[in-house]
Amino acid sequence: MKKVVLNGTLAVLVIAGCSEQTAQQEIDLNQEWSTFEEQAKGTEVNLYMWGGSDSINQYFDNWVIPRVEETYDITLNRVPVTDTKEILTQVLDEKTAGKNEGSIDIMWINGENFKTAKDNELLGKPFSDKLPNVQNFVDLEVPQIASDFGIPVENLQAPWGTAQFVMTYDEARSDYPKSLADLEDWVQQYPGKFTYPALPDFTGSAFVRHVIYQEVGSEVFFEEALMEREEVEELLEPAWTYLNAIEPYLWREGETYPESLARLDQLFANGEVDFTMAYDPIKAAAEVQNGRFPETTRNFIWDEGTLSNTHYLAIPYNSPNPQGALVVINELLSAEAQAAKMDPANWGDLPVVELAKLSEEEQQLFSAIDLGEATVPIREMEQNRLPEIPSIYVEWIEESWLEHVAQE
């Protein structure tokens, strides 16, 4: 920690001393890629990221940092923050102070924070399409990558990893509905065995968005012009009809809902309900491993697909070492780095590179990883992803659910 702080301070001093160094907005992104690698040699790159997870931190300290040091002679400093908003506040402060040589080269963001960064013009030039590994392995056009919670990404940040919603059941105990339409029949056949966390719980809210996609469709939410609240309220009605129709057949006859995902997990573990859910496809396997969920626990996804969101790496407009940032981000999108990231022993985060685009040996790296029997095969998840809607709608949905489903 101390070392990181010290390095940060040194970097600032060095930068202050030689302001003629190229700022990001001045570099020509259309140069030969090897030029960047050449220029980045022997430099330092400051990566600011949320530091609240031991496994993520270890992935960096034990795998990424040694690797970029060896391969590119780049010293990567991982600067942990407790809340990603702090990173944006810092860049914003630098911008307000007119500091064109900042202190951050890479920041890990998505959703709301990306919106803030974009709205306040804290990001540099569009760059992600220039990275060789993106060109080779990533499809920037797929909706859940091209838009970040409804905000067009426009290559201002490079996709790095994926989270996807999954349903969980116990194959020894029950069968499972293949779709939300099936679920409607299923709950009537087995009353009291299904429920979802009360909104505004994050996962419960995601479950309800699936119902909305099914009953309302998703296209309207992605139209460029945002809708007014009244319009959205009106649109949502079929979804509330669906949820109120299944309510009498839910756990405790829908009189109450589990207040959190943790409580739903507990109900599932105790056999009180037959399903739980997660916005984390590897969690069920982990719960089996630590003995909380039965061995026969399995994940499944709806036939229509499940919600997925992407997290990204961005370069601030005033990065002191944009070449270094480009090289590091590119390396983080290599098959090796993405595979290591997916390994539950390191982090367990889904890759953003498409397996079909990789070479035979590279694919081997992924298939060698044991994600646990509970986990849906990566390929299957990959082919069934739905994009997230703009976050402003998510808020309205949560409030509207309380009024139209919980109160009714």
Partner 1 sequence: MSMWRRNKYALFVLPAFLLTITLFFGGLADGLLKSFGYFPAIGQDTLRLSFYQQALAERAFQDSLFLNLRVALLSTIFASILGITLALVLYAFQLRSKRPWLLRLLQLPLTIPHLAAGYFMVLVFSQSGLMARLAYAVGWIDAPAEFPVIVNDAFGWGMVVTYAWKEAPFVALLLYPVLARIGSGWYDTARIYGARPWNYISTILLPAIRPALLTASLIVFVYTLTAFEVPYLLGVTYPATLPVYAYQLYTSGNFEDRSQALAIFWLLTVVTLLFGWIAYRFYRKSYDRGWE
Q: Which residues of this protein are in contact with partner 1, per CB under 8 A? A: 192, 198, 200, 252, 255-257, 259, 267, 270-272, 395, 398-399, 402-403, 406-407
**Nearest distance from C-beta of residue 201 to partner 1, angstroms:** 10
Q: Is residue 78 within 8 Å of 4, Cβ to Cβ?
A: yes
State the minimum distance, in angstroms, from the CB of residue 253 to partner 1.
9
**Shortest spacing between CB 114 and partner 1, in angstroms:** 17
Between 12 and 269, name the residue whose CB sits nearer to partner 1.
269
- Write the CB contacts of 292 (distance below 8 Å, at least 6 apart in sequence): 265, 269
Closer CB to partner 1, residue 76 or residue 199? 199
Alpha helices in 77-189 (DSSP H): 84-96, 111-119, 132-137, 143-146, 180-189
Joined tokens for residue 198 = 């009360």
Cβ proximity to partner 1, 49 vs 199, nearer residue: 199
Long-range contacts formed by 331-335: CB under 8 A, 24+ apart:
331/64, 331/67, 331/68, 331/71, 331/72, 331/133, 332/64, 332/160, 333/131, 333/133, 333/134, 333/137, 333/138, 333/158, 333/160, 334/133, 335/137, 335/359, 335/362, 335/365, 335/366
Least Å distance between CB 407 and partner 1?
A: 5
Q: Please identify, using beta-carbon distances, which residue of 106 and 267 lies nearer to partner 1.
A: 267
Q: Are strands 147-148 and 151-152 parallel, antiparallel or unpaired?
A: antiparallel
Indicate if the alpha-carbon torsion angle 9, 11, 12, 13 is positive or negative: positive
User: In whole angstroms, how close is the CB of 191 to partner 1 at the nearest point?
Assistant: 9
Q: What's the min distance (Å) between Cβ of 225 and partner 1? A: 21
Cis ω for the linkage preceding 132 (within 30 of 0): no
Residue listed under structure tokens 């859910």: 277
Q: How far is CA 325 from CA 86, 128, 182, 195, 402, in A?
A: 20, 11, 48, 45, 44
The least CB distance from residue 391 to partner 1, in Å, is: 9
CB of 274 to partner 1, least distance (A): 11
> Least Å distance between CB 260 and partner 1?
9
Identify the bridge partners of residue 300 per DSSP, sorted by sequence position: 167
Residue nearer to partner 1 on the CB measure, 58 or 241: 241
Which 3 state secondary structure label does DSSP give 78? Answer: strand
Question: Cα–Cα distance between 209 and 203 in angstroms, integer?
Answer: 10
DSSP secondary structure letter of residue 358: S
Name which of 129 and 399 has its Cβ closer to partner 1: 399
Give the nearer residue to partner 1 in terms of CB position, either 36 or 240: 240
3-state DSSP call for residue 218?
Answer: coil
Query: Of 263 and 379, which CB lies nearer to partner 1 in the complex structure?
Result: 263
- Minimum CB distance to partner 1 smaller for 19 or for 256: 256
Least distance in angstroms from the C-beta of 84 to partner 1: 16
For residues 106 and 45, the answer to whether their CB atoms sit within 8 Å is yes
Neighbouring residues of 371: CB distance < 8 A, sequence distance ≥ 6: 282, 285, 342, 344, 348, 378
| Closest to partner 1 by CB, 81 or 198 | 198
